[in-house]
Structure 1
Amino acid sequence: MLCDIDSLTVLHCLDSICAQSAQGESTSAEFQPSCLGGDMSRLTLPWPPSVNRYWRTFRGRMLISADGRSYRQEAVIAAMPGQRFGAAKVKVSIDAWLPDNRRRDVDNLFKAPLDALCHAGIYDDDSQIVELSIRRAGLDKANPRLEITLEAA
């Protein structure tokens, strides 16, 4: 699946952040990426919705739910200043800071953030990922998140 960034979505998200900031509300600004130079980038994304909450069926078609679209917008904003890899092969490493001690399969955490990064234009297509790893980094009830490191392969 080829992905490209929807500039109208990005502009809408930025307008929302500016409006929230002007009103003193919390924004997604805490999810800022840092470029590590060279061919490596580190991003911090919010905790993703579950696979069951990310997708919805409508008239026989599988669509991204409202929760999924909201998550994707936050991820696009977080990834905007990050390094772009274009069509290059990419290694992805994820540190998952869990929101609670419930049992969960960490492999279910991949879909939403990887699709969101593709949508944000970090890489052109999910098929470019040649190495993918995830680990449970710990528990952080106050700020569950995914710390993602991307590196050119």
Structure 2
Amino acid sequence: MKQRFEIPFRPDSVNTHWRTSKYGGQYLSKAGRQFRDNVQCYIKSKKYITFTGKIKVNIELYFKDNRKQDIDNYFKAILDSFNGFLYTDDSFIYELKSTKKLGCDRDYFIIEVEELN
């Protein structure tokens, strides 16, 4: 079984998703919390199945601007946002594939999750 969702939000990069406290610990930034909350609220409004076994994930990133984007900087924010929704935990991801496109009409991403046999 496969699920595919177009998510109408620009993911925040790892550079803005996490902050370091003055004591050395890390915490989710305000932007990170907002992104996670937006994604989770959106996905709750859709019909979805929570996979409990090994899965593969495909992420398509679409950016409005043409600035240089490091594709790997967006994975953590996106994958963590779907824990407990599209899969029980992102530790069940055994395959990860991604593409990016710049100069699009808007910022968004598509996530596709499929069970592995």
TM-score range, shorter chain: 0.7 to 0.9
CA distance in 2, matches of 1:65, 1:84: 26
Per-residue deviation, residues 44-102 of structure 1 (Å, max 9, x unmatched): 2211112111001123210000100000011111222322112x111100111112111
Q: CA deviation at 1:138?
A: 4.6
Task: Find the structure with the greater CA-based Rg.
Answer: 1
Between 1 and 2, higher relative CO (CA 8 Å, sep ≥ 6) is seen in: 2
CA distance in 1, matches of 2:102, 2:2: 23
- Corresponding residue of 2:103: 139
More helix by share: 1
| Matches for 1:40-55 after TM superposition, within 5 Å | 40-45=2-7, 46-55=9-18
CA RMSD of aligned residues (A): 1.5
| Matches for 1:56-135 after TM superposition, within 5 Å | 56-58=19-21, 59-80=23-44, 81-86=47-52, 88-118=53-83, 120-135=84-99
Which consecutive unaligned segments of at least 5 residues does structure 2 have?
none
Which consecutive unaligned segments of at least 5 residues does structure 1 have?
1-38
% identical aligned pairs: 34
- What's the TM-score once normalised by structure 2's chain length? 0.87
- Secondary structure of the corresponding residue to residue 139 of structure 1: coil
Aligned residue pairs, count: 112
Q: CA deviation at 1:128?
A: 0.6
- What's the TM-score once normalised by structure 1's chain length? 0.68
Q: CA deviation at 1:121?
A: 2.5
Q: CA deviation at 1:139?
A: 2.8
